[in-house]
Amino acid sequence: MKYTFSLLIILFIGCSYTTAQTYTLEQLKDSALQNNIAMRKGRLKIAAAKEQRREAFTKYFPNISAVGVTFRANREMAEMNIDPQEMLSPETKAALAELAPMMAQILPPEVLAGLGNPVTMSMMKKGTIAGVNAIQPVFTGGQIILGNKLARIGEEVSHLQLQLSEKDVEAQVEQYYWQLLSMHEKMRTLDAVEAMLGNIEHDVQTAVRAGVALNNDLLQVQLRQNDIKSQRLKLNNGQALVKMLLGQFCGLGLTPSPSPMGEGSNYLFEIVMPDSQQDILLPSPFGEGAGVRLLPEYQLLEKNVEAAKLQRKMEIAKNMPNIAVGAGYNYHNLLDNDRHFGMIFATVNVPISGWWGGAHAIRKKKFEEQEAREQLTDNAQQLQIRIQKAANDISEAQSQLALAQQSVEQATENLRIQRNTYRAGTSTMSDLLEAQLMHQQTLDQRTDAFVALQNALLAYRQATGQ
């Protein structure tokens, strides 16, 4: 049973290592473009804008509606009193007076008595009304056409916003990637420093045993080794955090699984890193881009101007007459008998008092359109400035990288000289460790300069739409 349990642990450890999947930079970008929340929201906005455009198109068709009402009142809604005496002219009254003896012989007395009394009539105590009507707009001042154009602009804007989201997502993935590369290179530097300090410690221990060196020199080396261990711990934690951020951003998972060896974390994915900075080809010279007018940012500003222009026209259309024609089929039994009938009709709605406030609303939209045009001009100039700044940053980053490389070469030579002079007994351990620290700092500065150049190139590609 003991051996079986040990075998299960070994199998679990083996599976935990084999399930990790490696990703290149391009694969990380593809995963982020598919799974990032910003991309998913952008695609949902496009779907919503498309449905809004389809909804606007339905306004061209007739508006068909059906209505049904049934009611019962506590008393009749219509009532009238009819007085026969008031309805007869004097000539008719004289003629009836002449006929009165004859009518008295024919009609019963009670009927004769009621002929001259008022009669009360009432109706519509209960009833049902139903109908189906279709109304086709003929003239709405252009509101339907303008609404469809605005809906199409909304869909185009959602596509442009998705393009911007794609650029931002790819840029964020690259920034995480270069951050991991920086930590990876600094970890390689620590490996080299540890190996160097190990050799120095061995030489010092030999010298101490021979009595030609002091224990203080050995303590200085050991303190420096402890400092390197502390730096390695910080780098490990930093790599773990950036991996978690990258995994969440690309949809690859968030929580790392515990390492079976108790060192760091065993992630379900790994990042493919180049063997050295020299393995990454730097684009030289960099491209000129697509031009400001082809950038999604500029096109969004143009769409904003176009939408403001249509909204001004829409405000004018709201104050224009509306004409519509329609047809319907209706039924009611308000007079205690069923009535079915069809009809055609036309409606005209002329907003007269609406112009009192409508004129101010139109002027407001005109000012908003002018504001959008001015914003287009201003932001276009800012885009040009951003491109120029990104180009300047590349030139500066290239110069900084060249200086950092020169510093590495000088620090390497200084370290070699200090190590030789320490072995010859003409310099102290403090001088040697200071030279070693300076060498490590120049290596880290070169790594930072290299990553800064990559970020500058990324910013230029973003600014120029490459």
Residue with the two structure tokens 């060896």: 261
Burial class (CB in 10 A: 0-12, 13-18, 19+), 441: middle
Q: Which residues contact 358 (CB under 8 A, 6 or more apart)?
A: 315, 318, 319, 351
Closest by Cα among 386, 14, 47, 432 to 203: 432
Q: Which two tokens stand for residue 384?
A: 């040009």
End-to-end Cα, the chain, rounded Å: 62
Pairing of strands 257-258, 126-139: unpaired
In Å, what is the CA distance from 200 to each residue of 203, 213, 244, 409, 420?
5, 12, 37, 21, 11
- The answer to whether the Cα torsion of 311, 314, 318, 319 is positive or negative is positive
pLDDT number for residue 257 = 46
Length of the chain: 466
pLDDT of the chain, 466 residues: tens digit per residue: 443 333 333 333 334 444 567 888 888 888 899 988 889 999 999 999 999 999 999 888 888 999 988 888 887 776 666 666 666 667 666 666 666 666 666 666 665 555 556 656 666 778 889 999 998 888 888 889 999 999 999 999 999 999 999 999 999 999 999 999 899 899 999 999 999 999 888 888 888 888 777 889 889 999 999 999 999 999 999 988 998 888 888 888 765 544 433 344 445 567 766 655 554 545 544 555 557 888 899 999 999 999 999 999 999 988 888 899 999 999 888 777 888 888 898 988 888 877 778 888 899 999 999 999 999 999 999 998 998 899 899 999 999 999 999 999 999 999 999 999 988 888 888 999 999 999 999 999 999 999 999 999 999 988 888 7
List of domains in the chain: 19-72+131-464 (1.20.1600.10)
Angle, helix 143-210 to helix 296-318, in steps of 10 degrees = 150
Q: What are phi and psi of 264, to 5 degrees?
A: 70, -140
